[in-house]
Amino acid sequence: MATTATEYFPGWAPAVTGIVPSVGDYQGADAGETFVRSLYAEHGRSLLAYATRLTGDRAAAEDVVQETLVRAWKHAADLNKGAGSVRGWLLTVARNIVTDRARARAARPAEVADVVDRPPVEGDHSDAVVNTMVVLGALDQVSPEHREVLVELYYRGRSVAEAAQELGVPPGTVKSRTYYALRALRAVMAGSEAEVAR
Amino acid sequence: MSEHSQLGAYALGALDADEAREVEAHLADCAECRAELVELEELKEFLGEVPPEAFLDGPPEGGDLLLQRTVREVREAAAAPSAVATPVAPVAKKRGRWLLVAAAVVVVAGALGGGVLIGRQTVEQADGPVPGSVQVSATDAASGATMATTVEPRENWTWIRVRITGLKPGAECEMYVTDKAGKVWTAGSWVVTEQAAREGSRFGGGVLISPDQVKSVEIKTVQGAHVVTTTI
């Protein structure tokens, strides 16, 4: 019923560079099922929580997650673990689906009038189509110690004292790790573009 | 140097007020650190491209049905001739038939013109409820809310539209549908905007039961307080 992202943007799928796995790995009903189950087991909670925040509605969010996973299966060749972030890809696709559905509704005034109370789609990540993947991919490449201080301080909004308690290290260590984590992230992100200049 | 290593936590806004003031005092005197801060804040912007939910792991709670539906869709798509994962070229005769079917579909679509089907659906909705719909309304004496409910038949399921007046702005509402067997179905949740509180709040949700099985539609707040019920 709803127009899909691919109909709007035929070339929308973020390209993932790297080794392209054999599509044959995921061929057939059983392999497809296994693939989708493994994505669900690893990323389902993240995806559903994100889609629920964007849609403000658990049922709608489940539909979005379902479509995201089916699309991941169809694009299995693009989802190459190790190059770019699989989760970044899934989150980006989920957001695109939410945006497309909102747009499809806007194109049909009768249905928009039906549901005026729908929470608006967040606009904060609207230009981030590739960047979500790039940044998550970069966070995958910094050390676990660096990654965890950034997650605690930035994404979970914790103070240095709270993060120190959570991670079981002195506050001074949290501070210096944060500084070096940001520098490491900068090095990873600059890596592909600026490596030549060094 | 100690100020230097505090810069990261400062850029992320994680220092307490005293520490932040110390860093700011140092920044006033140190051009090098000011330049570094600009870069760190740029990195903070990059971090903002990733939603916080990206750091949750594992399967969702209560998502078994979601997984089952997804697996079923993948199985069906894999079995369908148009599925992406059908690499084997059909034998020549069979392929010829599929091409004919595909061509016929294109011709029909071309004859109708894009969007005709969607257009018709929109017109039906704009003209009023679909044929076979049932409309009822009720007022709840305790909450003061009045709800007009439309039960619209769909193919093997039911779309339920409500228009409610007398709600408070910011109220988080959930729609529950009870079928004739006594089973309760959730049909979505929403937040009442200021405008909706003034002009009436509209909401729609689907349930996977046939329309003649709908016994009542109840609105509750997310906190569990009863708002209003219509009995079909």
Domain boundaries, chain B: 2-47, 64-112, 131-231
- Residue identified by tokens 């093997």 is B156
Q: How many CA atoms lie within 13 A of B58 on its CB side?
A: 3
Residue B64 CB partners (closer than 8 Å, separation 6+): none
**Residue A118 host element (H or E):** none
Which residues in chain B have their CB less than 8 angstroms from residue A53's CB?
51, 53
pLDDT in tens, B69-105: 999 999 888 887 654 443 333 333 333 334 443 333 3
Which residues in chain A have their CB less than 8 angstroms from residue B84's CB?
74
| A135 with B49: Cβ contact below 8 A | yes
d(CA B53, CA A158): 15
Residue B98 CB partners (closer than 8 Å, separation 6+): B81, B90
- B80 φ/ψ sector (left φ>0, alpha ψ -120 to 50, else beta): beta
Query: Is B138:B123 a contact under the CB 8 Å cutoff?
Result: no
- Residue identified by tokens 């296994």 is A34
Looking at chain B, which residue has its C-alpha nearest residue A63? Answer: B66
The two tokens of residue A135 are 């940044």
- CATH level 3 topology of A142-192: Arc Repressor Mutant, subunit A (1.10.10)
- CATH level 3 topology of B131-231: Immunoglobulin-like (2.60.40)
Which residues in chain A have their CB less than 8 angstroms from residue B67's CB?
37, 40, 44
Query: Is A153:B12 a contact under the CB 8 Å cutoff?
Result: yes
Domain limits, CATH 1.10.10.10, in chain A: 142-192
Which residues in chain B have their CB less than 8 angstroms from residue A161's CB?
16
- Cβ density class A59-69: b for 16+ within 10 Å, e for less: bbbbbbbbbbb
Least confident of B52-56, B64-68, B165-169: B165-169
Nearest residue to B6 via CA among A187, A155, A148, A171: A171
d(CA B188, CA B231): 18
The two tokens of residue B8 are 């990261």
- Range A65-87 average pLDDT: 79
What is the dotted CATH code of the domain comprising A22-127?
Answer: 1.10.1740.10
> What confidence tier does B47 reach under pLDDT thresholds 50, 70, 90?
very high
Domain limits, CATH 1.10.1740.10, in chain A: 22-127
- Shortest Cα distance from B166 to chain A (angstroms)? 14
Q: How many Cβ atoms from other residues are within 10 Å of residue B15's Cβ?
A: 25
Would you tell me which residues 128-147 of chain A have a C-beta closer than 8 angstroms to some C-beta of chain B?
128, 131-132, 134-136, 138-139
Angle at B141 (CA atoms; ends B138, B146), nearest 5 degrees: 35
Nearest residue to A137 via CA among A74, A73, A192, A77: A192
Least confident of A155-159, B24-28, B185-189, B213-217: B185-189
The two tokens of residue B48 are 């903002």
Q: Rounded to an integer, what is the distance from CA B230 to the centroid of its chain?
A: 25
Query: Is B227:B167 a contact under the CB 8 Å cutoff?
Result: yes
- Residue identified by tokens 């193919």 is B155
ipTM value for the complex: 0.72
pLDDT in tens, A4-58: 333 333 333 333 333 333 344 445 557 888 999 999 999 999 999 999 999 999 9
